[in-house]
Amino acid sequence: MRILVFGGWGQLGAELARAAEGRHELVRPTRVEVDVADPAAVAAAVAGSLPRVVVDAAAFHRVEDCEREPERALAVNALGALAVARAAAGAGARAVFVSTDYVFGGRPPTGGEGHIEDEAHAPVNAYGVSKAAGELALRAACPDSLVVRVSGLFGHAGSSGKGGNFVETMLARAASGERLAVVDDQVLAPTAAAEAADRLVALLEAGAPPGTYHLANRGALSWHAFAATIFRLAGVPADLVPRRTGPEEVRRPANSVLEDTRTAALGIPPARTVEEALAWYLAERGAGPRP
């Protein structure tokens, strides 16, 4: 199938290209070529490529910048999703919106470890609000659509918007010998971009019904625990200490673990644990033993 990916050169987009290689055709315009905040450009790109699936993986995701520039966050993350969904629907294509754990705010009301797919949105910052709005816009504009949520992505392409990813940042800072104070009061399920990409392609190949799907790795770690796991698996000594989130910092979810309750019914194997996915990532970059 032909898949058009906006935001296709970031962490997830790069892994989508790998996952689809030899099986599907990916079209990945750059942000310079097509800005999702420009509905006319989006519509022209969709009309020109005639895809079966349109993926919106573009995002304005620096949390602090979203607080300072909420208009831009909404333009990219919400109105951009709307433009993509309308263009996809007009072309008879499926639309996929890559969303985030930050549409949730705190401890899951279900009593489980993580948030399930149809839980009500409860964002606590501008980034989460904009992505929740994007989800709603997509569903309204394109009935044949998928919302796929990821959490704390780490991929070999890094993050164009953040200048790397958490794993690389931690390893670089440890190498410099600085003391690392990492928050221990925010729990999530960090996710390998490669695994999220593989599972997204599997959803499309399985003809997944419209709806919301969680593509995070399995597990629940604080950022501090994740950092400790990085250093342990990489065999890197680090001066790592826990800290609490400061009152001056942008509010983030206390618990944004994503629980997958839907992919098994489609015959898709369960995601690896965070530790398994991290071990694979480190082995691929040459920083740890191959699992």
Q: Could you give the dihedral angle defined by the CA atoms of residues 101, 104, 107 and 110, in that order, rounded to the nearest 10 degrees?
A: -100
Closest CA to 198 of 4, 53, 5, 18: 18
Active site residues: 127
Tell me the residue ranges of DSSP E strands in 28-115: 53-56, 94-100
Q: Which two tokens stand for residue 127?
A: 């980034």
Q: Edge to edge, what strands does the sheet with 2-6 contain?
A: 25-27, 2-6, 53-56, 94-100, 145-150, 211-214
Angle at 158 (CA atoms; ends 197, 179), nearest 5 degrees = 125
Q: Give the end-to-end CA distance of the chain in Å, rounded to a whole number.
A: 32
CA distance 169 to 91: 41
Contact 42, 95 (CB under 8 A): no
Sequence letter at residue 243: R
How is the chain split among helix, strand and coil, in percent rounded to 5? 40, 20, 40
Q: Which two tokens stand for residue 161?
A: 């918007």
CA distance 219 to 272: 9
- Identify any residues that bridge with 147 across adjacent strands, giving them in sequence order: 97, 212
